[in-house]
Amino acid sequence: MAFGHHLSLRCSFLRQEKITSDAKLSEAQKQLEESEKLRAAAEERVKQLETQLEDLTFRSCIEVDTTQTVALEAGKKEGFSTGCLAGKTEGLNEGREIYLASEEHKEFVKQTRLQGARDFLKAPAFNVAVEIKATEFLDQGFERCKSQVLKLKGFTEGFRPELARPYLRWEPCCFPGGRSLSSCG
């Protein structure tokens, strides 16, 4: 009997725990669903804001480009009309100066120069130019060596190769013809 009573109390306690746990679980599920809805709404709002930002950035870029283009065209037209009215080319020069002073023109020229240099370095003409210069350099070096040998009479009979290197010999007779270093001074 005591065992049955104990089992009954234990069942009641476990039933109460299950009811409490189920209530906590349903409350947690409601909070989770609510937080997921808020997160989805926040993600949607972020997407909307990013779209608006891209649109505003694009519009501002177009407006800046349009403003610069309009100003540049107005400067060209004003310069041309001034030149036409005066019958001179001064107005044209003013419009040209405005364009040449613009950052757009300076950046364009800089990029064009860089691209031209890159293209030339990749071109076969560059390799040919380098080969020609290297050949000229080697040819000049060979001619200098040949002239030194001729000065030392290296192509005559009885030439001693050690005479071609006078810095290695410190004897008084180091030059062809029997001249000593003292007679060279």
Residue 169 lies in a domain: yes
Range of the domain at 135: 123-175
pLDDT tens, residue order, the chain (185 aa): 777 778 888 888 888 988 998 899 899 899 989 989 988 888 898 888 888 878 777 776 666 667 667 666 766 666 655 555 554 555 556 667 777 788 888 888 889 998 888 888 888 888 888 899 999 999 999 998 888 878 877 777 776 666 666 555 445 455 555 555 454 44
- Both tokens of residue 82? 């001034």
Q: Per the structure, how many domains does the chain have? A: 1
Residue 163 lies in a domain: yes
- Closest to 101 measured CA to CA, from 77, 78, 71, 81: 71
Residue 115 lies in a domain: no
d(CA 75, CA 95) in angstroms, rounded, equals 5
Residue 132 lies in a domain: yes
Residue 77 lies in a domain: no
- Both tokens of residue 45? 């709002």
Residue 114 lies in a domain: no
What backbone phi and psi angles, to 5 degrees, belong to 158?
85, 10
Q: What is the pTM of this model?
A: 0.30
Residue 148 lies in a domain: yes
